[in-house]
Amino acid sequence: MIADYLSRVSLVIPTYNCGELLDRHLNSLLPMLGRFGQVILVDSFSTDGSYERAMHILKPYNATLYQRERGLYESWNCALSLVKCEYVLISTVGDSVEETAFEAFVAHTIEAGVDIAISPPEFYRPSGTEPSVCWPIHTLLDDFRIDAPVVVDGALVSQFAEYCFATAGLASLSGSFASNLVRIDLLQQHPFPTQFSGAGDVAWFALVCDRARVLIYPYPVAKFCLHGQSYPSLSSEGRLQLYRFVQECEAFRSSELMAELIELEEVRGFIRNVRTRLSLFYILNSDVHRCRARKHQLRDRIFDCLTELRLRIQCKLKESNLSTKRADLL
C-alpha cells in the first residue's frame, strides 16, 4: 500500500557544485528511489563533477537528468514543469528524509487529499552538531499546542501565515520544501517567484495560502543541513519589496498587521541609511529621533495586533475542534 503511495510522488533534486554532499544525499534516498513515480535531477552546470556522479548513481532508476543555467527558483520551476505525478518532493542536497517517517507522511498527505503538507525538520550542521534552531512551523506547533496532524484551509491558513510573518521576520510557515509535499497542480499553476533571491518560497506561500488546503504534520520526517548559503540574503530594500509583494497577495490586502510591519521596515531602513551616511553623528539627527519614537509605537501596535491574531486563531482552532490541547496561550 505504501509503495503505491510513493508511486504518486515525483522526486525533484536540484544540484549545483554539491561535492561530497551529493553522494551522501543520493545514497540516503536509495531505498526509496525505485518506488517514486518519477525522479528528476536538474543541475545548474556544476563544475565539480556533481552532474556526472548523479548520472552514475541514478542511471538504474530511469531518472530524468538535465542541465540548465543557474538560478535557484528558475531551476525549481523548470524541473516542476516536467513533473507528472500528483505530488512532488523537492529534495535539496544535504536535506534527507527518514524512510519510515516519510512513508507515513506520504500516506497521511494523500489520504487527506491536501494541497500542501508541512512537517517540522530537524537540523544539523555538516560537522554533525545539532544546532538550536526554531523555524515558523516549530513555533506554530508550540504556540498553538498542535501535537497531532490537522488539516486547515481558507482564512485559518492565511492567519497562520500572517502569524509566522509577524513573529519570524518574513520567514514562511512552509519552511523547507525538503520536508514538505505539494500537489503539483498548485506549483504548476503558481510557479515560485524568482525576484527575491533565496526567499522565493516565502513569496510563493503568501501567494497561494488562501486557496490551499494544508496539512500541518507535527512529526519530523526530514533532517535539514545548515550549510553556507549559495544565494545572498535579501537587502533592506529587498526585504521591503518582499513585504510589499506579500501585502499585495489576496490573503493580506486588508491586513492591518502587514501594513504595520511594512511601515516598521521602512522606519528601520531610514535609520540604517542615516547611520551609514552620518556615522556617529546620526544620533543628533532630529529625523532619527522621530523615527525611533515611531518605531516604538509601531512595535507596541504590532504586539497588540499579534495578540488579537493569536486569539482569533485559537478560537478558530477550538471551533473546528483542531486544537488537541486546551491550554490558554496568553
For the stretch 115-169, pLDDT in tens is 999 999 998 877 766 677 789 999 999 999 999 999 999 899 999 999 999 998 8
Least confident interval from 52-56, 186-190, 203-207, 273-277: 273-277
Residue 228, domain member (yes or no)? no
Residue 28, domain member (yes or no)? no
The fraction of the chain above a pLDDT of 70, given in percent, is 89
The fraction of the chain above a pLDDT of 90, given in percent, is 64
Output phi, psi for 8, to 5 deg: -95, 10
**What is the pLDDT at residue 330?**
31
Residue 97, domain member (yes or no)? no
Which tops the pLDDT comparison, 275 or 315?
A: 315
* Cβ-based neighbours of 45, under 8 Å, separated by 6 or more: 16, 51, 67, 68, 69, 70
| Structure letter (DSSP) for residue 94 | T
Q: Confirm whether pTM is higher than 0.85.
A: yes
In this structure, the dihedral spanned by the alpha carbons of residues 178, 184, 190 and 192, taken in order and rounded to 10 degrees, is 20
Q: Are 79 and 191 in contact (CB under 8 A)?
A: no
Q: Are 133 and 227 in contact (CB under 8 A)?
A: no
Residue entry with cell 529587498: 238
Residue-wise burial string across 275-312, b where 16 or more C-beta atoms lie within 10 A, e elsewhere: eeeeeeebeeeeebeebeeebeebeebbeebbeebbee
**What is the pLDDT at residue 229?**
53
For the stretch 296-319, pLDDT in tens is 888 899 999 999 999 999 998 888
The answer, yes or no, to whether residue 231 has pLDDT greater than 60, is: no
Into how many domains does the chain fold?
1
Instruction: Identify each DSSP E strand in the chain by its residue range.
Output: 9-15, 38-43, 64-67, 87-90, 96-97, 116-118, 122-124, 150-152, 180-183, 214-216, 222-225
Which tops the pLDDT comparison, 87 or 170?
A: 87
Q: Are 25 and 18 in contact (CB under 8 A)?
A: yes
171/53 Cα distance (integer angstroms): 34
The counts of H helices and E strands in the chain are 12, 11
- Structural domain that includes position 284: 135-177+189-215+234-330
Mean pLDDT of 194-201: 92
Residue entry with cell 516604538: 296
**What is the pLDDT at residue 277?**
65
Residue 38, domain member (yes or no)? no
The answer, yes or no, to whether residue 281 has pLDDT greater than 80, is: no
Q: Of 35, 42, 91, 87, which is closest to residue 69 (Cα–Cα)?
A: 42
Cell of 202: 516565502
Mean pLDDT of 159-180: 90
> Mean pLDDT over all residues of the chain?
88
Least confident interval from 44-48, 130-134, 175-179: 130-134
Residue 78, domain member (yes or no)? no
Which tops the pLDDT comparison, 127 or 19?
A: 19
**What is the pLDDT at residue 168?**
87
